[in-house]
Structure 1
């Protein structure tokens, strides 16, 4: 897919991986829908960075857990540009709870995490699918996690939600072909506010050092690393659908500590 002049929606794109995806898309000449729920100031910074390279943007406050918000976001993109070429389902939430602490998660925790991480991705995909189908092509990339493959990560609820997102990726790839491709990336450790705020400074720095010491690539992942993989699924993988790509510097291989996004 040629991204120049195209339109891609990136959910949760005020900061982190979503913001990195938006900036990378803009650098390739792609118009971007920047989505946020609460981080308006940071979303506007991402929007400004995208506009600086000469593309058009659309800033949309919307909660992907709300189906009406998802449909509105897709409709606003079509109203502005008349097309939607790609969707990156990046919006996500978690609660940091040690996996041995079974009392640390409530049903409400599970419901909120699933509402955003799984149902939100489903609702956004459903919202863009008619436009993509009518165009004859489109691509969806789900930002999942190694947590959904290995059963690790910030909490059992988060890992379970990403496992569900992985299987949903396969189901949607079957259901939406041949016009729409659906793939996912599964990051491991990603440097940034998400993990630092959840783990605390000391644990975060220790985990980062462990990644740099023990992974085969001797690197701790960055949002930009994940953006490269996600955008590749849009522009460089026309013959690929239903794939889950682990992006973790090889941490999932034997001997490396597993610390998920």
Structure 2
């Protein structure tokens, strides 16, 4: 346990109504954050539950509905932190996908690529741009943590557009780490399978259970990661313990990347 290393922090988490986003919001609150801006796109009820959990750890929770694909919404999310005068950590966690076999090139369209890129890549860029001044106002370099994916490193995952978008997010992490230093640090996490409700919203429970079992069997650590497992590593990138780390990607996949060819591009 890292104690209260987030004491006084102001945190923004996009896509925080469920899953990894919720786990990140709660983890930062448990470690002393003063306020957590909880962004959600659709489910106010689920976001309210995230806020309740955040407040249970003594932090303020500010709910903001918005689609990160819309620049105006990104600015609205950033404005929610303005009363605090700073943002110590921005977690670009909002994401979307489409499910399609990689070999079925007729299963996806240009519109699928554009929709996924608008959220997974452009949305993250717009959030950094909207939050830049408040990130630079933090007493230490503000931290941006992008939720990418192992899919963007080895070309696997729910679909080709998804893998491509996460690869682009990894590259953008490098670009922004250079461009925004020394006042802002930018890093990315690359989770593998995470056992969250995200899959259940698009797939039947039987298929999700099969994915869960296959994932655990295929990883060297023989586990299917939970949101809390991944959140702890994500929050490290925003903590004082990573104050000299920027432009890095961290694979959090229980070792599943070891099943693929050497990752010369990483």
In 2, the alpha carbon distance for the partners of 1:254 and 1:59 equals 40
Q: Is the 8 A contact 1:109 1:157 kept in 2?
A: yes
Q: Which residue does 2:15 correspond to in 1? A: 12
Deviation at 1:135, TM superposition (A): 3.5
Larger deviation: 210-219 or 100-109? 210-219
- Distance in 2 (CA, whole Å) between partners of 1:197 and 1:34 is 20
The size of the alignment, in residue pairs, is 255
Does the aligned pair in 2 maintain the 1:214–1:255 contact within 8 Å?
no
Q: For 2:235 and 2:72, locate their aligned partners in 1 and report how far apart those are by CA, in whole Å.
A: 27
**Aligned equivalent of 1:253, options 248, 254, 258:** 258
8 Å CA contact 1:96, 1:199 repeated in 2: no
Give the TM-score normalised by structure 2.
Answer: 0.92
- SS of 1:34 mapped into structure 2: strand
Separation in structure 2 between the aligned mates of residue 201 and residue 21 of structure 1, nearest angstrom: 25
Please state if 1:157 is matched with 2:152: no
Q: Report the CA distance shift for 1:29/1:62 in structure 2 as closer, same or farther (over 3 A).
A: same
Q: 1:199 to 1:253 in 2, by over 3 A?
A: farther
* CA deviation profile, 1:159-197 (whole Å, cap 9, x unmatched): 000000000000000001111110000000110222234
CA distance in 1, matches of 2:260, 2:252: 17
* SS at structure 2 position matched to 1:183: strand
Q: Aligned in 2, Cα 1:255/1:184: closer, same or farther, shift over 3 Å?
A: closer
Q: Secondary structure at the match of 1:103?
A: coil
CA–CA distance in structure 2, aligned partners of residues 2 and 248 of structure 1: 25
Q: Secondary structure at the match of 1:186?
A: strand
8 Å contact 2:75–2:127 — kept in the other structure?
yes
Aligned 8 A contact 2:85 2:137 in 1: no
CA RMSD of aligned residues (A): 1.6
Residue number among 58, 64, 73 corresponding to 1:60 in the alignment: 64
Q: Which residue, 87, 90, 98 being the options, matches 1:87?
A: 90
Contact 2:21 2:93 in 1 (8 A): yes
- Name the TM-score, length of structure 1 as normaliser: 0.94
* Residue of structure 1 in register with 2:264 after alignment: none
Q: 2:256 aligns to what SS in structure 1?
A: coil
Equivalent in the alignment of 2:234: 230
Deviation at 1:86, TM superposition (A): 0.6
Match of 1:259 in 2: none
Q: Pick one of 167, 172, 192 that aligns with 2:196.
A: 192
Q: Distance in 2 between matches of 1:135 and 1:5?
A: 11
- 1:47 aligns to what? 51
Gaps of at least 5 residues in structure 1 are 257-261
What is the distance in 2 between the residues matched to 1:201 and 1:142? 28
Whole-angstrom distance in 1 between the partners of 2:235 and 2:183: 18
Instruction: Return the alpha-carbon distance in structure 2 between the equivalents of residues 70 and 232 of structure 1.
Output: 24
Aligned partner of 1:221 among 222, 225, 234? 225
Q: Report if aligned partners of 2:25, 2:50 keep a CA contact under 8 Å in 1.
A: yes
Match of 1:129 in 2: 132
The change in CA–CA distance for 1:199 and 1:152 in structure 2 (over 3 A counts) is farther
| Counterpart among 178, 188, 203 of residue 174 in structure 1 | 178
- How far is the alpha carbon of 1:132 from its aligned partner? 1.9
